[in-house]
A and B are shown apart, each in its own frame.
Chain A
Amino acid sequence: MPTPKCAAFTWDRVKAMAETALLELDRVQAWYGASHVLHGITLRVNEGEVVALVGRNGAGKTTTLRAVMGLIPKAEGRVRFAGRDLLPLPAHRRFHLGLAYVPEERRIVPGLSVRENLRLGLVAAKAEIDERAAFAEIAETFPRLRERLDQEGVTLSGGEQQMLAIARALIARPRMVLLDEPSEGIMPVLVEEMGVLFRRLRDQGKTLLLVEQNVEWALRLADRAVIIDQGEVVHESSAAALLADKDIQDRYCAV
């Protein structure tokens, strides 16, 4: 736990934050064509919280994130973000509510430079975000990207591409970021660096929902943990409690 830095972080504020659900899923079901992937996911992520969403391959973690982002053709139930019902909204409208997404495949756009890929994060953003200031902020947070702004995005190493995808999601200053396996296939030094970054984002009050296969790493970063299995939530606890509970980890997260 980071120590509160300023007076604004009073206990009341922390408690109030803990009680405001920023993202709420209520019995969310989703289908890919004929296959029923989510069978009723209910979970909440409070404002300012980091939640790790873990579980086996194919449990429905990615689908859960995609349903929140509006990328699943058929999803039912209720998804609320900042008091708004998301499911009726087209995907692009969800961005404007302050939701950002870092997909598993990173989706760096080929043919565009690192700078242009970053700029994509701002093309639809409100005019009040000053592009220069946003770029300066990102350059400071991601020194590796700053040195490679004019290189084509897809020529970066896997880890750098992941950083770029995260930077692109952050540049429009979202309230909440959904991350799908950010540590996958990345060298340990960069995973370390990413952990430091996520802690810093958390200290800045960002809300993160982190899908991970690297369970221990995710649990060390997170406040709370949710396990899903076969399209259903099977466990919810503080991250620390799950980290200590090897049994449950083995039952639901073993590869």
Chain B
Amino acid sequence: MDLSLIIMQLFSGIALGAVLVITALGLTIVFGMLGVVNFAHGALFMIGAYAGLYLASLTGSFWWGLLLAPVLVGAFGMLIEFVLVRRLYGRSIDDPLLLTFGLSYILVEGVRIVFGSDGIPFPTPSQLIGVVDLGVGFFPKYRLFVIALVAVVLLLLWLMLEKTRVGLIVRAGARDPQIMRVLGVDIGKVWLAIFGLGVGLAALGGVLAGPMRSVNPEMGTLVLAEAFVVTVIGGLGSIVGAVVAGLMVGICISMVALFAPEMATIVMFALMAAVLLVRPQGLFGLKGRA
């Protein structure tokens, strides 16, 4: 087995990891700020893929789908928070978990009824078909694009969180919502926006994953498991953790797929177990953080 193959597989792992990072980030932000374990996150990832596909065929352009699907599905997420999740704040963590678990079934069945149970191919946008010569080998253009786009989104998120007024409110609100209310912040609006952002990120992950895997009503199930593993490895609620762990898991799966394909699906769980043995709070988790 030659080195270039390994390097190409490494790139594949990063592309896979990039989608995982974006998806897990949505999950971890919502958990870190609202204390809500969103079991519908995978279903919303799937909705994102369908929305992207549908909007792309409606407008005739992948780019509109990529842009609009996260926004519209994010708005749908805000509706979910406003109508359903909001009522369960302050109650046991199981309540929103069960609610979103039920919601995920409704969403999956709903998509089955509307679009059918069969997978639908998600065409790669024409500008991104083909490969790029990376010197060591040829790599699909689309996957390079996914890596670049995720990097840009992460940069924007980081700037928003660290450099803006809204980011300061979000960071402080995650630690102490009550003091934010005393300081004049309508924290309910912040939670609404955060839930929308989390769901929007799931949808973005879904659209990006579309051309790389097939689009079907069950596509969110595995993604949800992967996103949970990433969140646990990185540390619940930790944004840096989600990024590092997402890339780690992506690369691990790709590498193991190369050497021992039958092990590829369980390697992430082994990784999670190993990390938890050494650091129970995850790589970047803080002890005692909500």
Contacts and interface: CB of A to CB of B under 8 A. Distances in A.
Given A109-B172, A123-B168, A103 B179 contact: yes
B169 interface: yes
A111 B172 CA distance: 8
Interface string A101-115: 101000101111000
Contacts of A111: 171, 175
B137 to A, nearest CB: 43
B182 A125 contact: no
Contacts of A70: 181
B118 interface: no
A51 to B, nearest CB: 20
Interface in B183-201: 183-187
- Which of B184, B185, B187 has the most chain A CB atoms closer than 10 A to its own CB? B184
A71 interface: yes
B175 A91 contact: no
A109 B175 contact: yes
A125 B165 CA distance: 11
B176 interface: yes
B180 interface: yes
What is the interface of chain B mostly: helix, strand, loop, or mixed?
A: helix
Nearest to B166: A123
A123 B175 CA distance: 16
A168 B183 contact: yes
Contacts of A109: 172, 175-176, 179
B182 A95 contact: yes
A168 B175 CA distance: 16
A116 interface: yes
Interface residues of A, number: 25
B44 to A, nearest CB: 28
B169 A123 contact: yes
A111 B173 CA distance: 11
A246 to B, nearest CB: 36
Contacts of B185: 92, 123-124
A96 B184 contact: yes
Given A116-B168, A119-B168, A120-B168, A125 B184 contact: yes
Contact of A92 (B165, B171, B184): B184
A121 B263 CA distance: 53
Interface in A49-82: 69-71
B117 interface: no
B140 to A, nearest CB: 40
Contacts of B171: 111-112, 116
Interface in A106-158: 107, 109-112, 116, 119-121, 123-125
Given A71-B178, A109-B175, A121 B183 contact: yes
B182 A103 contact: yes
Contacts of B183: 92, 95, 120-121, 123-124, 168
A110 B172 CA distance: 8
Contacts of A88: none
Contacts of B176: 107, 109
A90 interface: yes
Nearest to A121: B183
Nearest to B182: A101
A70 B169 CA distance: 20
Which of A70, A91, A95, A121 is packed against the most chain B CB atoms within 10 Å? A91
Contacts of A107: 176, 178-179
Given A92-B187, A95-B182, 5 more contacts: A91-B182, A103-B179, A112-B171, A121-B183, A124-B185
26 contacts: A70-B181, A71-B181, A90-B181, A90-B186, A91-B182, A92-B180, A92-B183, A92-B184, A95-B182, A95-B183, A96-B184, A101-B182, A103-B182, A111-B175, A112-B172, A120-B169, A120-B180, A123-B165, A123-B168, A123-B169, A123-B183, A123-B185, A124-B183, A124-B184, A168-B183, A172-B184
